[in-house]
Chain A
Amino acid sequence: MKFKHYILSFLAVAATALAQAKSIELLNVSYDPTRELYVNYNKAFAAHWKTQTGDDVIIKQSHGGSGKQARGVIDGLQADVVTLALAADVDALYANAKLIPQDWQKRLPENSTPYTSTIVFVVRKGNPKGIKDWDDLIKPGVSVITPNPKTSGGARWNYLAAWAYAKHKQGGDEGGKAFVTALYKNVPVLDSGARGSTTTFVQRGIGDVAISWENEAFLVLKEFGADQYEIVVPSLSILAEPPVSIVDKVVKKKGTEAVAKAYLEYLYSDEGQDIAGRNFYRPRNPTIAAKYDNVFPKLELVTIDAEFGGWTKAQKTHFADGGVFDQIYQK
């Protein structure tokens, strides 16, 4: 037998075996409060993909503090997609490991943020401390629960919302800094993620008020009872825009680029938007959003770009090592 015949036979056997061994598995590395959202969305997408291609796709989820999750991906966690709490954490995938292109945010509509949320307060039933707005959170004797901005994306939104409120009310960043300094003096414990803070407030019974993602606040009422907790909507908050991205280097290596892209694009579909709304995220699609008008309260929302010059600047100023948060927060 000629050498080339051996090689061709060998390759044919290998190719046949490879074709039969095909399977699709995605890993979505996300932040803390999106567990329920993606459990529902993954089922819908798997059914959609099966209809479109005939292939089965299994999506695994990983959740934690957004900053910690980004660090995990940078350190080698094989995420096909990331759905994190804020753009700075996704930027880190480019800055630290070149896992994605620098202009990743331009690849999907709405700066790759298929849904939004905001920051509200959760208090115990009857609102014993009479919390109405941000000012009430810095009063002596009020215990405030919020996670650690060094590890949690939600915590950074909380911090910036508080800063923005004080800046608007008192007219400058000095006011903002003084306000968050006073605020964190009332924080007895810092969890690493938003879900941990919910546990602290709800299950451990610590604190008078929890600063929370809006979707997480609704979930608390749904899961633990509207007769136990109330949502307090402040006069001003921040438009939280959790972004999504494929992790280019991983999907190219695993051969999952097409399905990973479709997975994120489907978030913008009517079904994807509706699932977001049902899980208390504000849909981007105005038609779908209109369905949830009576769910989400109206309030003044500032944006990260307008108030803080974008995430890159905000991250560097406030949350980088030696930044404002490190200066004001004493362990």
Chain B
Amino acid sequence: MRNSFLRKFTPATVALVLLSTVVPRLTAADADDLKVLRDQIRALEQKLLVLERKQEIKDEDAATAAKAAPKISITDKGFTLASADSANSFKLRGLVQFDARVFLNDNGIVNNSFLLRRARIITEGTFAKNYSFQIVPEFGGGSATAASAFTVLDANLGVTISKELQFKFGKFKEPVGLEMLSSDSWTFFNERSLATNLVPNRDIGAQASGELFNGTVNYSAGIFNGIADAASSTNADFDNEKDVAGRVFVSPFKNDAGSPVQGLSFGLAGTLGRQKGTSGRTAGYKTDGQQTFFSYAATTVADGQSWRVSPQFEYRNGSFGAIGEYVFSTVNVRPSATGAKAELKNKAWQLSAGYVLTGEDSSATGVVPKQNFDFANGTWGAFEVAVRFADLKIDDKAFPLYASAATNADEAANFGLGLNWYLSKAVRLTFDYYQTNFNFAPGSPLVSTTPLLRQDEKGFITRFQVSF
């Protein structure tokens, strides 16, 4: 617009106007000079226009080249290299969790310790827009009680047909537990609840998933090798049976902007399959302090159908967030390969809530501080308080044939209080207090033979985490 305006008032135009006022007074001889002058001005005008156009073309070429150039993005969500059309990309993310764990009144049974809880380098990529991969090695050992060992946590391939239909193949989380499916970086507490003990973790299989009805329904359905409660696949399949797992999660008011129930979601998940062998039953259920409070006798084997069902909900409204789930898990076991078979029904639930004191939105993918912590500038990030209640009850029929009443608790009840400090989107400090009370099956001794279970577990778990 400006160029066009200026072009109308070029030196030629101005000169012609001026000349027109003086021409009548000029002689015929001067008229020739004027014509030459006029032509020269026109030639200069053309040269100016050509220079402008050349610059315009140069700018267009530069813009086109910039569009075709690969994109590099470095943010607090990771490092991304992407092709100009974003169809091909490679993303590097990471997670490091450093814990300080202090246990109270435990008579020195559990070591107060520093712990590298998780250390992951996450590589993800997309090819031809619709094909993706993810590889997540774990270098942190993942457990307070196990020696650190390298494992391949996730390794999977994805195919996107549409928003409504996507496929995933490889090793990844089975679509069951609500808290399990959340990133462990951003759950309200630095350890998942007792209820997570009854759901499968990562397994190898194939899954279809997608969003329906304008994103209000999210579904997943897959077939997997099948694993026990709280277990992750070690790659090898321990039996010849398979599990199916599925989950439907509905957010009916998701698109009702401003509604107080916009952030309400609820769903149902479950698994069905058959398990065999010692790997078919859980290796143990753990407390928040990662101490085992129940495990089957070493000779007990799974043999038969297992199934789980888990109703669950999530609610987010501004700074407030809450999640809850109930898990009912059954397993058929024998005390030995030839012993009597029983179907055991274990149950657990958890209810967690959090409130962001500094006004940011509560989110399953982490609170984003309005201002990062910066001591020099006097900004403090975001603070969130959290509370949780949880319970896990073992079927009484498990004792004493399939598990020792003397060495195991048959119920763990837990509450937790937490303070989360989000220094930035990627950096979080958590200060959590957990207390777990144990109950015992009828016929158990007055004092458990397991020292850990002779008193409530009371522990402070403080975690410094970088997750991007």
Contact = CB atoms under 8 A, between A and B. Distances in A.
Nearest to B49: A206
A10 B242 contact: no
Interface in A112-130: none
B242 A189 contact: no
Nearest to B48: A206
A134 B244 CA distance: 77
B328 to A, nearest CB: 20
B364 interface: no
B321 to A, nearest CB: 32
Interface stretch (B162-170, B185-193, B248-256, B335-343): B162-170
B61 A18 contact: no
Contacts of A206: 46, 49-50, 53
B397 interface: no
Contacts of B162: 21
Contacts of B240: 3
Contacts of B210: 17
Interface string B205-236: 01010100000000001110000000000000
B45 to A, nearest CB: 9
Contacts of B57: 189, 191-192, 196
Nearest to B223: A6
Of the candidates A21, A196, A206, the one having the most CB atoms from chain B within 10 angstroms of its own CB is A206
A250 B287 CA distance: 55
Interface string A171-189: 0000000000000000011
A111 B52 CA distance: 42
B161 A17 contact: yes
A258 interface: no
B208 A204 contact: no
B7 interface: yes
Contacts of A13: 208, 221
Contacts of A273: none
B165 A17 contact: yes
B54 interface: yes
A200 interface: yes
Contact of B164 (A6, A21, A143): A21
A7 interface: yes
Given A10-B208, A188-B50, A196-B57, A21 B161 contact: yes
Contact of A200 (B53, B165, B222): B53
Interface string A18-38: 100100000000000000000
Contacts of B60: 192, 196
Contact of A205 (B49, B221, B272): B49
Interface string A137-176: 0000001000000000000000000000000000000000
A272 to B, nearest CB: 31
A21 B208 CA distance: 14
Interface string B82-110: 00000000000000000000000000000
Nearest to A143: B46
A18 to B, nearest CB: 6
A21 to B, nearest CB: 5
B49 A204 contact: yes
Nearest to B272: A1
Interface residues of B, number: 28
B165 A21 contact: yes
Nearest to A206: B49
Nearest to A17: B165
A306 interface: no
A13 to B, nearest CB: 6
Contact of B244 (A1, A200, A204, A205): A1
Contacts, number: 58
Nearest to B165: A17
B458 to A, nearest CB: 45
Contact of B223 (A10, A18, A143, A204): A10
Nearest to B206: A10
Nearest to A21: B162
A188 B165 CA distance: 55
B46 A7 contact: no
B165 to A, nearest CB: 4
A17 B207 CA distance: 13
Contact of A189 (B53, B221, B223, B273): B53
Contacts of A17: 161, 164-165, 208, 210
Nearest to B56: A204
Interface in A191-226: 191-192, 196, 200, 204-207
A3 to B, nearest CB: 5
A204 B161 CA distance: 46
A54 to B, nearest CB: 20
Interface in B47-87: 49-50, 52-54, 56-57, 60-61
B209 to A, nearest CB: 11
Contacts of B221: 10, 13
Contacts of B46: 143, 188, 206-207
Contact of B53 (A1, A3, A21, A204): A204
Interface string A217-259: 0000000000000000000000000000000000000000000
Contacts of A21: 161-162, 164-165
A18 B56 CA distance: 47
A9 B206 CA distance: 12
Nearest to A14: B208
Contact of A14 (B54, B167, B241, B242): B167
Contacts of B272: 1
A16 B244 CA distance: 19
A188 B48 CA distance: 11
A3 B240 CA distance: 9
Contacts of A200: 53
Contacts of A7: 223
Interface string B260-292: 000000000000110000000000000000000
A38 B48 CA distance: 36
Contacts of A10: 206, 208, 221-223
A205 B206 contact: no
A97 to B, nearest CB: 15
Nearest to A196: B57
Contacts of A14: 165, 167, 208
7 contacts: A6-B223, A21-B162, A21-B164, A192-B61, A196-B57, A206-B53, A207-B46
Interface of A: 1, 3, 6-7, 9-10, 13-14, 17-18, 21, 143, 188-189, 191-192, 196, 200, 204-207
Given A21-B161, A206-B53, 12 more contacts: A1-B242, A3-B240, A6-B242, A9-B244, A14-B167, A21-B162, A143-B46, A192-B60, A192-B61, A196-B57, A200-B53, A204-B49
Interface of B: 7, 46, 49-50, 52-54, 56-57, 60-61, 161-162, 164-165, 167, 206, 208, 210, 221-223, 240-242, 244, 272-273
Identify the 6 closest CB pairs spanning chains A and B, nearest first. Answer: A17-B165, A188-B50, A6-B223, A21-B162, A206-B49, A189-B53
